Structure 1
Amino acid sequence: MKTILSLAAAMLVFLSSHAQGFLRTAGTRIVNEKGDNVLLRGVGLGGWMLQEGYMLKVYRQGQQHKIRARMEELIGKERTDEFYEAWLANHTTRADIDAMKAWGFNSVRLPMHYRLYETEKGFTITDSLLAWCKANRMYLILDLHAAPGGQGNDLNIADRDGSQPSLWENEAHQQATVAFWRKVAARYKDEPWIAAYDIINEPNFGFEDPVNDKNGIKETKNEPLRRLMMEITKAIRETDQRHIVIIEGNGWGNNYNGVLPPWDSNMVLSFHKYWNYNNEQAISYMIRYRDQYNVPIWVGETGENSNVWFTNAIRLLESHNIGWAWWPLKKIGVSNPLEIPSNPDYQQVLAYWNEKSAPKPSAETAYRGVMALARATNFRNNVVHRDVLDAMLRQPSDPGTLPFKPNLIAPGAAIRAVDYDLGSNGYAYYDTDTANYRVSDPKHTGGNRGGAYRNDGVDIRSDDGLFITDIENGEWLQYTLNVRKQGKYTIRLEVAADSLPGKVSVETNGAVKAATVPVGQWQWVEVKEVPLKRGVQKLRVKAVSGGYKFREIRFEN
């Protein structure tokens, strides 16, 4: 009996690993072995194999090799090696992939650094990730994020040394890139849960005019890019006929001039979408390519914006059957599903690296700080941002509200102002400046100006405890209350106005009552005789005239 059970368990594992078969293209769709449409909803593991400075709050010399060199200057080579081992071991684990599956994602994009694959280490890490994905029935996209020599003039994204020849200026680098993919394809050719090979991430190089168009946005021919991607595809097809090959245009993935038509029958065009409007015009050029060449399109990277932008982008893309991989899963900061918390010792390191006048921390301080940061990358130490996940996975189809906290209300209860409901702008809250559209309009750079706690348009700061700031006329916040005792309550609001008094109103059960916010530091204003019914109901706090800060709500008889 034990042997039979073991065989049955093994068969279940086999079936779960192979039930969907290899993904492939079918006209403009990505489909599974049965021909069912597969809409990839995924997240990129940015910062794991390849650190980009901004993810670590390093704003000067942000390439990984420079960060590593500066760390060695502080704590020595042996301890720096220890940090990077801890970073790779902690940053992404089975717990991350399990969580992604539970939240509702179906795919993972792995940004690969070619140097890790010069030894077996990169493959060992990838094998583990693939096993976690298979166990969760999630697709894995392999993405060459840092190619030999670096694929563009945006140095951080490819860990490029700008003083050395790039990928495009050195034949040996190009052949090493081809050899990399030949080796990857030979190893993973029989793995159906690998969805595709994303062969060069974000090329950004000016072939025709390297001085005035260094990132290749205006490139008209892109001949070196097309030629190398064709060579890579040929190398892959020597051993692997089944996996999708994903290509990207120049100019950070979006300039396909001269790159097309496609040269392979199982190919997907990727484009990256950041800081532009979420309207039909923003993606129309890729829709035209899709229809002209009868090939699927996919957004290999997008994100780094507000929840409003996330919801609208996903709604737009999915209305056109375009899958996506968000960027990134985690970093220091709130605009991701997971946040890596910083620590005071690491803040001293950052000050030294980012500010010319900051003192150099001691070796022990720096070591404590960077090792604490490496441990903080582990899922169990991350901050889960429910608001980001809700904006990505529920709100595109359901903009309505959910309580952010239980908010059980009886005399003496309190709610933090920042714990307003989950939901879209105009439903859970109303903010006048909700997202960053700087690519479409350089003047339109909204979002959470304080950068703390949540990722909506609502401005939240943390320098004096969590509070809402930059409140403008007409903005409001909604709170779902679960009232234990019916009655008329005095609602006290903790507020602070700067140079001009504000006016705030409280609305619930059809009653609207207002109070003035006088100029001064933190103080309490009262709104009396607010009727609350027993049970669940909505409370809205509205800025009749803004200009003040808001920290807490208290409920009293």
Structure 2
Amino acid sequence: MTKSATEFLKVEGKNIVVDGKPIILKGAGLGGWMNMENFITGYPGHEYQVRAALKKVLGQEKYEYFFDKFLEYFFTEEDAKFFASLGLNCIRLPVNYRHFEDDMNPRVFKKEGLKHLDRVIDLCSKYGIYTVIDLHAAPGGQNVDWHSDTGNNQALFWVHKDFQDRTILIWEELARHYKDNTWVAGYNPLNEPTDEEHVRLLDFYVRVEKAIRAIDPDHILFLDGNTFGADFSHFGEPLPNSVYACHDYSSYGFPNPPEPFTGTPEQIAYHEKQFARKCDYMAKIAGPIWNGEFGPVYQQATDGIPNWEKINEERYAVLKTQLSIYARSNASWSIWLYKDIGFQGMTYVSEDTAYMKLLAPFLQKKREVAADSWGCDITPVKKVFEPFVEWLSKAAPSTDQRYPPMWKTDKHLGRIVRNCLMSEELCAEYASYFEGKTEAELDELAKSFSYENCKQRVTLNEILQEDGRRALV
């Protein structure tokens, strides 16, 4: 029996409220599901590229079968039950526009794309879990990163109005479909936008707010800051019933941190300053805060790092520091992420499953060549790239000031060469592991992602559960 939610969540001053009472949304993002990402499930390159490679190997029928089973197993009632048992109350649902629209048949909404989204939203409601629908990949790509699934490093969403028009149509359909669902906390129209001119994002937010409100006047909009959710410097008057969302990853939670994290006053002050900077706009408008993404990555024994357990202890300490800062700000949060193959998730696919056994050699190769962008250790390829970075710095020194401002020459070069060019070329190799598989074998591979075939990252979940019990301050 689905639990009752008698009212929509709404914004009142600094709070999100329901039934007249303030509520803090605490949970995780279901990344790697309806918007796949390479580091989460192990494929190379961009989602549409690996899907094309798999379709070529499997054929249309087996291709559709495998991905339908993958989407089914990735989040089931057992996942919802476990998530709720931790005292968490909200799941952010990243989706890719390709589920709802075909580039070769634009402006025609694919209702079949709602099948698994409806299923998971209903499962979550059964266990008292709110959901936020997040358009993680918009037509044309709203950001310059791999997770907008464009296959390049350009955010063409901002230079072609047609992409924006199609995105509006998608949101109108989603609003029409979910307008009466009180367990949907709201809509996150664009994940981590990167508008180099800053003003186009604000214009789009005004436009999408009007389009959604004309159909659905009740749901909250969760609006990410510019430049990956970190820059609100150009934002003006807030839109009604909207929560502004930052993303707050710590450099101490990733390979090659500035220094070991020991929780010194200086390190804690650094994290406080970073979060305060990102939330300065929310303070000015006296509105609620939603941290849509944050969280360290973790090492495993298979990484070949002798002190991997000590590294993880430091990263858990980083996480505790961040959560304590959010608690003092009454900030809602959504950690990245719920499930993966052992990199960052609250749960992760066991190494004994069919999927992990099959792809073990390929996953090792990906680590050795630093194919992924997110949280990878570039040490194995650093010497290869250093001469090219030096050459590019001399030939085009302005690369160091290229947007986004936090990326330097080495990252721009690695992003294009490793994470785009090389990773795209690895898609066929990944797909070759699936060649000749029967439907029964494909079902077993997909079922590797089911709750019963996953392990829990126990310390992470204990930290989240403890924070989930915290009340408003």
Task: Tell me which of 344, 348, 371 is aligned to 1:339.
Answer: 348
Give matches, 1:362-377, under 5 Å. Answer: 363-364=435-436, 372-377=444-449
Give matches, 1:47-58, under 5 Å. Answer: 47-58=32-43
CA contact (8 A) 2:142 2:148 kept: yes
CA contact (8 A) 2:359 2:433 kept: no
Separation of aligned partners in 1, 2:434 and 2:329:
54
Give the C-alpha shift of residue 290 in structure 1.
Answer: 1.8
1:384-438 Cα deviation digits (max 9, x unpaired): 222110122227989xxxxxxxxxxxxxxxxxxxxxxxxxxxxxxxxxxxxxxxx
Give the C-alpha shift of residue 204 in structure 1.
Answer: 2.2
Cα distance change, pair 123–362 in 1 and its aligned pair in 2 (3 A): closer
Give the C-alpha shift of residue 165 in structure 1.
Answer: 7.3
Q: SS of 2:294's equivalent?
A: strand
What residue in structure 2 maps to residue 22 of structure 1?
8
Q: SS of 1:37's equivalent?
A: strand
CA contact (8 A) 1:74 1:366 kept: no
Deviation above 6 Å: which 4+ runs of structure 1?
352-360, 365-370, 395-398
Separation of aligned partners in 1, 2:15 and 2:86:
24
What residue in structure 1 maps to residue 323 of structure 2?
314
Give matches, 1:447-466, under 5 Å. Answer: none
CA RMSD of aligned residues (A): 2.8
Give the C-alpha shift of residue 320 in structure 1.
Answer: 0.9
**Counterpart residue type for residue 48 of structure 1:** W
Task: Tell me which of 274, 278, 294 is aligned to 1:282.
Answer: 274
**Counterpart residue type for residue 133 of structure 1:** C
Cα distance change, pair 312–304 in 1 and its aligned pair in 2 (3 A): same
Give matches, 1:78-477, under 5 Å. Answer: 78-118=61-101, 119-154=110-145, 156-162=146-152, 166-207=156-197, 222-262=198-238, 264-276=239-251, 279-305=271-297, 306-342=315-351, 343-350=356-363, 363-364=435-436, 372-394=444-466
**Counterpart residue type for residue 296 of structure 1:** P
CA contact (8 A) 2:121 2:184 kept: yes
Alignment gaps of 5+ in structure 1: 1-12, 208-221, 399-557
Give the C-alpha shift of residue 291 in structure 1.
Answer: 2.2
1:215-247 Cα deviation digits (max 9, x unpaired): xxxxxxx11111111110000110211111111
Pick the structure with greater CA Rg.
Answer: 1
CA contact (8 A) 1:346 1:370 kept: no
Question: Whose RCO is larger (CA < 8 A, sep 6+)?
Answer: 2
TM-score (norm 1): 0.61
Give the C-alpha shift of residue 158 in structure 1.
Answer: 1.3
1:21-60 Cα deviation digits (max 9, x unpaired): 11111111111122x11011111110010111111234x5
Q: SS of 1:81's equivalent?
A: helix
TM-score (norm 2): 0.71
Separation of aligned partners in 2, 1:365 and 1:18:
44
Separation of aligned partners in 1, 2:365 and 2:42:
12
CA contact (8 A) 1:75 1:366 kept: no
Between Structure 1 and Structure 2, which shows a larger proportion of strand residues? 1
**Counterpart residue type for residue 249 of structure 1:** G
What residue in structure 2 maps to residue 546 of structure 1?
none
**Counterpart residue type for residue 74 of structure 2:** H
* Percent identity (aligned): 26
Give the C-alpha shift of residue 161 in structure 1.
Answer: 2.9
Give the C-alpha shift of residue 257 in structure 1.
Answer: 2.5
CA contact (8 A) 2:97 2:138 kept: yes
Separation of aligned partners in 2, 1:374 and 1:351:
20
**Counterpart residue type for residue 111 of structure 1:** P
Q: SS of 1:363's equivalent?
A: coil
Task: Tell me which of 54, 57, 60 is aligned to 1:71.
Answer: 54
Cα distance change, pair 67–341 in 1 and its aligned pair in 2 (3 A): farther
Separation of aligned partners in 1, 2:155 and 2:162:
10
1:331-367 Cα deviation digits (max 9, x unpaired): 0115321001342222245467776999965824799
Separation of aligned partners in 2, 1:100 and 1:258:
37
Give the C-alpha shift of residue 17 in structure 1.
Answer: 1.6
Between Structure 1 and Structure 2, which shows a larger proportion of helix residues? 2
**Counterpart residue type for residue 93 of structure 2:** L
Separation of aligned partners in 2, 1:117 and 1:365:
28
Separation of aligned partners in 2, 1:26 and 1:240:
18
Give the C-alpha shift of residue 126 in structure 1.
Answer: 2.1
Count, aligned residues: 365
**Counterpart residue type for residue 134 of structure 1:** S
Alignment gaps of 5+ in structure 2: 102-109, 252-266, 298-314, 370-421
Separation of aligned partners in 2, 1:165 and 1:321:
33
Q: SS of 1:274's equivalent?
A: coil
Cα distance change, pair 92–178 in 1 and its aligned pair in 2 (3 A): same
